[in-house]
Amino acid sequence: MRIRRTVGPFDVAGLSLGCMNLSHAYGTPPDRATAERVLLTALDRGVDFFDTAALYGFGANESLIGPILKPYRDRIVLASKCGMTGVDGKRVIDGRPETIKRTADEALARLGTEVIDLYYLHRLDKQVPIEDSTGALADLVKAGKIRTIGLSEVSAATIRRAHSVHPVAAVQSEYSLWTRNPEIAVLETCRELGAALVAFSPLARGFLTGTLTDPASQLEDKDIRRQMPRFDVAHYRQNLGLLPGFFAIAKEIGCTPAQLALTWVLAKADHIVALFGTKSTGHLEENLGADSVTLGPDVIARLDRLINPSTVSGARYNPATQSEIDTEEFHTGGNHRG
């Protein structure tokens, strides 16, 4: 029996699938046949919450997963995102109401569905009041085009402002042992408002799996991690020093490092969904095995002491990308910047 979590009116698997890297961001995407195997294997193993976005492959990801999952539409909760899309081959943040509504119509067509279960504002457009963007999402709910609304990579203050316009069902933010920003205020705000925290990159973008030992040689030129300071040679070399202790705890518990990372995320609060991505059915099966792992408070405390904002080296994003992010940031005396 899979761990279950609540997202708005939906009951979903706590371990759910982010579909981004089937089309976008982490090097060369898999071919369609491989992507289909990943999606249908996830479905077969009890995953019923699938996450995509207009940005991913500039529409390609929605076009990929829509037809594959359409025969099973009544069995899944389907999430997508607006407010950050591809325009003339470039990523553009645009939270204007008219753009949100147009993007929703385009997403519905690509996904081949009459309604999107959860529709997020992918990024806060700092030129548009959050109340205006949320109002557009609320209009889409009234029109029956989406069922619930969400926000991504935003602060507690922004969540509260949006929630005053329309209930927020979920907030998606990066959350893992090495990215703790939601712990500042967002995690508690979500709990207070009855929203789920959908934790993306719970495996620390591959770092916690131990498979990425040399980003300089292992990452393709277009891999987004090449633009992230933590993956720079000097920072990454220092971060690798955290892994032996982490691996030792995984061995002690009797699970893989990936399963330990996912279990830690789910153990932090019962309103968290761990949203992982993979191109491999093997890794998919391994990750879903986290359902059978249990961590005691002492183990969680040891993990917290080992990998945290004071022990991780390097900022999460480069300055240009960070300027687009609305989340609260840590300011510590340790190695972490940002």
Q: Which residues pair with 86 in a beta bridge?
A: 91
- Listed in order, strand segments (DSSP E) in the chain are 4-7, 10-13, 15-18, 49-51, 77-82, 84-87, 90-93, 116-121, 146-152, 168-174, 196-200, 272-276
User: Rounded to whole angstroms, what are the CA distances from 177 to 5, 182, 335?
Assistant: 20, 11, 15
Average pLDDT, the chain: 95
Using pLDDT thresholds of 50, 70 and 90, give the confidence band for residue 338: very low
CATH numbers and ranges of domains, the chain: 4-204+268-293 (3.20.20.100)
Of the candidates 26, 56, 175, 317, the residue annotated as catalytic is: 56
pLDDT confidence bin for 46, thresholds 50/70/90: very high
User: Count of H helices and E strands in the chain?
Assistant: 13, 12
As to burial, measured by CB atoms within 10 angstroms (0-12 exposed, 13-18 middle, 19+ buried), residue 323 is: exposed
1 pLDDT higher than 70: no
**Can 72 be counted among the known catalytic residues?**
no
Tokens of 194: 């009855």
At residue 332 the predicted structure's pLDDT band, cuts being 50, 70 and 90, is low
Structure tokens at 26: 């982490």
pLDDT in tens, 230-239: 999 999 999 9
- Give the mean pLDDT of 213-240: 95
**Whether the predicted model's global pTM rises above the 0.75 cut:** yes
What confidence tens digit (pLDDT) does each residue in 277-315 have?
Answer: 999 999 999 999 999 999 999 999 999 999 999 999 999
SS3 106: helix
The predicted pLDDT at position 2 comes to: 79
Task: Please check whether residue 32 is in contact with residue 194, taking contact to mean a CB–CB distance below 8 angstroms.
Answer: no
